[in-house]
Amino acid sequence: MTTEICAVNSDSLAAAKKILQGGGVVAFPTETVYGLGGDARNDEAVQRIYQVKGRPSDNPLIVHIHSEFDLSSLVYDTPYAGRLRQAFLPGPLTLVYKSKNNVSKLVSCGLDTLAIRVPAHKGAQEFLRYVDMPIAAPSANLSKHISPVSAEHVYSDLNGKIPLILDGGICSGGIESTVCDVTGEFPVVLREGLVSKEMIESVAGKCEVYKFKEGEQARSPGMRYKHYAPRCATRLFEAGQIEEAKECFAENHRIGKKVYVLCEDRFKSNFPSDYVLNLGRTEYEIAANLYAELRKGEAVADLIIAIKPEKKDGIMAGVLNRLSKACANE
Ligand code: AMP
Ligand code: MG
């Protein structure tokens, strides 16, 4: 199969709709990362998504809809969820509701809930409006690899496996959406992201972050898996361990390893500039640059030394979660 990359326009949208109607899958841009979408009502299409990515079949998918799509056709609502939608949607927040079971059972892997997201990205909204169907979509990368934030990243993982990538440029957000369960008395964050716990709390009054305990049945099955990993060795250091990171760099550099350092701008002067993968200065820059710099790094490095950013709360909680999973010390 040849994989075409096309800008989002009337021709490529018509081609995408035809593919989806036939049970196929297409990649599309969002403000977080690129998605690999199929008709959520079609078992065959949903199965194809898992197969193309090599995704474990017990890791449920998020359904994407446009702003005017009838949410009540898919899920049961909760009073405070409306306030969250008002405050943050369209945007990088996925809400998990009780499902009305009107999509393929494979989407939620047998759970009685359904995760729904309304992306803000202009190309994503155009795509979802044009096809006007609920689109099940995980990130458009091979399972366990770094999520894609450009059409080229999608191409390098899925070339030959999907017919079409809608190119909407570089994703401005950079990490996956916040996933928040709204089936209970108050919202519970299952995966941290660009809509932080603090932001949700300010609207809903109360919000907790779910902590997975070993041995317990995961409330969000995807959290069990190794994720977002570059295809080279990694070492992870705390912001307070710069001296150790410098030593690690020097040792590996001396023995001829191609070693690169992924860090925020303020730490870059500790390392030779040719070997720095710079995450930038602000929280939003760091989130937006994380996956692009990891992909750049894996293309040239034997070893990536990652240094955690200093700030830990707000949206940095999501960044730290991704960085820790990508660069876990094993
Ligand atoms: P990805 O599509 O790779 O961004 O991953 C989607 C995330 O949403 C995973 O962590 C899933 O476990 C989570 N998710 C999707 N649907 C549900 C659901 N019904 N209940 C809880 N978590 C979900
Ligand atoms: Mg993913």
Condensed to tens digits (0 to 9), the pLDDT of residues 130-163 reads 999 999 999 999 999 999 999 999 999 999 999 9
How much is the average pLDDT of 213-236?
Answer: 76
Expressed in angstroms and rounded, the spacing between residue 222 Cα and the centre of ligand 1 is: 6
Expressed in angstroms and rounded, the spacing between residue 184 Cα and the centre of ligand 2 is: 25
Using a cut of 0.85, tell me whether the model's pTM lies above it. Answer: yes
DSSP E strands in the chain: the ranges are 4-7, 26-28, 35-39, 62-64, 75-76, 93-99, 113-117, 135-136, 164-167, 178-181, 188-191, 208-209, 233-237, 259-263, 276-278, 303-307
Question: Topology of 4-209 in CATH?
Answer: DHBP synthase (3.90.870)
Which residue minimizes the CA distance to atom 20 of ligand 1? 220
What confidence tens digit (pLDDT) does each residue in 186-223 have?
Answer: 999 999 999 999 999 999 999 999 987 766 666 666 66
- Predicted pLDDT at 98: 98
Are 47 and 106 in contact, with CB atoms under 8 Å apart? Answer: yes
Of 158, 136, 154, 156, nearest in space to 59 by CA? 136
Q: Where are the domains of the chain?
A: 4-209, 233-326
CB atoms within 10 A of CB 2: 7
Expressed in angstroms and rounded, the spacing between residue 141 Cα and the centre of ligand 2 is: 7
Ligand 1 binding site (Cβ under 6 Å of any ligand atom): 59-62, 96, 108, 111, 113-115, 138-139, 176, 179, 190-191, 220-223
Using CA atoms, how far apart are residues 103 and 73, in angstroms rounded to an integer?
Answer: 10
What confidence tens digit (pLDDT) does each residue in 268-299 have?
Answer: 999 999 999 999 999 999 999 999 999 999 99
Residue 227: band (very low, low, confident or very high) from pLDDT cuts 50, 70, 90: confident
> Ligand 1 pocket check: which of 96, 99, 104 to mutate, most ligand atoms within 8 Å of Cβ?
96
From the CA of 227, give the closest atom in ligand 1: 3
Asked which of 104-118, 119-133, 202-216 is least confident by mean pLDDT, the reply is: 202-216
Measured CA angle at 97 (ends 92, 98), to 5 deg: 165
From the CA of 33, give the closest atom in ligand 1: 4
Expressed in angstroms and rounded, the spacing between residue 128 Cα and the centre of ligand 2 is: 19
Using CA atoms, how far apart are residues 51 and 134, in angstroms rounded to an integer?
Answer: 19
Q: Which residue, chain included where needed, has tokens 């999973």?
A: 325
Measured CA angle at 200 (ends 196, 201), to 5 deg: 110
Which residue minimizes the CA distance to atom 10 of ligand 1? 222
> Ligand 1 pocket check: which of 49, 50, 59 to mutate, most ligand atoms within 8 Å of Cβ?
59
Helix, strand, or coil (residue 308)? coil
pLDDT > 70: percent of the chain: 95
Expressed in angstroms and rounded, the spacing between residue 260 Cα and the centre of ligand 1 is: 32
- Predicted pLDDT at 211: 86
What confidence tens digit (pLDDT) does each residue in 13-46 have?
Answer: 999 999 999 999 999 999 999 999 999 999 999 9
CA–centroid distance for 180 within its chain = 14
Average pLDDT of the chain, as a whole number: 95
Of 252, 276, 250, 246, nearest in space to 263 by CA? 276
Expressed in angstroms and rounded, the spacing between residue 76 Cα and the centre of ligand 1 is: 18
CATH number listed for the domain at residues 233-326: 3.40.50.11030
> Ligand 1 pocket check: which of 53, 144, 220, 223 to mutate, most ligand atoms within 8 Å of Cβ?
220
Using CA atoms, how far apart are residues 273 and 163, in angstroms rounded to an integer?
Answer: 40
